[in-house]
Amino acid sequence: MKGRLNLFQAAMVRWREMHPYNAVHVVTLPQALDVPRLEATIGRQLEGLGLTGLTLDRRRLRYEWTGGAAATPLSVLPGGADPQSLLRAEMERQLNLAFPAEGRIEPFRFFAVETATGFHLGLAYDHLIAGGDSIVRLLQRLVEDYCGIVPAGAPLPPDLYPPRYRRLFGRQAFALARGLASWHALIASCRRSARPPYPKDGDGYNGVVFACLEPTESARLAKTAHAWGMTQNDIFLAIMLKTLSPQAPERRQATRRRDLAVGSIVNVRRDFGARAAAAFVPMLGSFRVAHPVPDDMPLSELARFVWSETSAIKRRKLYLQTLLAIGLSGLQWRFLSNEERQSFHAKNYAVWAGITPLQLNALWPEAKAYPFRLGYVRAVSTGPLSPIVVALTTLGDIVEVALSFRRAAIDRHRAEGLLADIVHCIRNLAP
Among the listed residues 351, 357, 426, the one whose alpha carbon sits nearest the alpha carbon of residue 390? 357
The answer to whether 264 and 287 have CB atoms below 8 angstroms apart is yes
Domain 165-358+380-427: CATH class, spelled out? alpha beta
Q: Pairing between strand 62-65 and 54-57?
A: antiparallel
- b/e per residue, 270-286, with b = 16+ CB within 10 A? ebbeeebebbbbbbbbb
The answer to whether 382 and 404 have CB atoms below 8 angstroms apart is yes
pLDDT in tens, 183-220: 888 889 999 999 988 766 668 899 999 999 999 999 99
Q: Show me where the domains of the chain are located.
A: 3-147, 165-358+380-427
Residues 6+ apart with CB under 8 A from 222: 232
pLDDT in tens, 336-367: 888 888 888 888 899 999 999 999 999 999 99
More confident residue, 238 or 179: 238
**What is the model's pLDDT at position 208?**
98
Element (H, E) at 104: strand 103-105
Percent composition of the chain: helix, strand, coil (DSSP 3-state, to 5): 45, 25, 30
The percentage of the chain sitting over the pLDDT mark of 90, rounded to a whole number, equals 71
Q: Which residues pair with 65 in a beta bridge?
A: 54
Mean of pLDDT values over 319-345: 86
SS3 of 48, please?
helix
CA 301 from centre of chain: 27
**What is the model's pLDDT at position 202?**
67
The percentage of the chain sitting over the pLDDT mark of 70, rounded to a whole number, equals 99
- The chain-wide mean pLDDT, for the chain, equals 92
CA distance 93 to 234: 31
**What is the model's pLDDT at position 54?**
97
The answer to whether residue 154 scores a pLDDT higher than 80 is no
CA distance 32 to 225: 39
Give the phi and the psi of residue 214 in degrees, each rounded to 5: -70, 165
pLDDT in tens, 57-66: 999 999 999 9
The answer to whether residue 226 scores a pLDDT higher than 70 is yes
pLDDT in tens, 245-292: 998 888 888 888 999 999 999 998 888 888 888 999 999 989 999 999
* 430 — pLDDT class (breaks 50, 70, 90): confident
Position 242, amino acid: K
Q: Which residues pair with 109 in a beta bridge?
A: 124
Domain 3-147 superfamily per CATH: Chloramphenicol acetyltransferase-like domain (3.30.559.10)
The DSSP annotation for 63-78 comes to EEE---S----EEEE-
CA distance 254 to 256: 6
Q: Which residues pair with 284 in a beta bridge?
A: 267
SS3 of 196, please?
coil
Asked if the domains 3-147 and 165-358+380-427 are classified in one and the same CATH topology, the answer is: yes
**What is the model's pLDDT at position 394?**
96
Query: What pTM was estimated for this model as a whole?
Result: 0.95
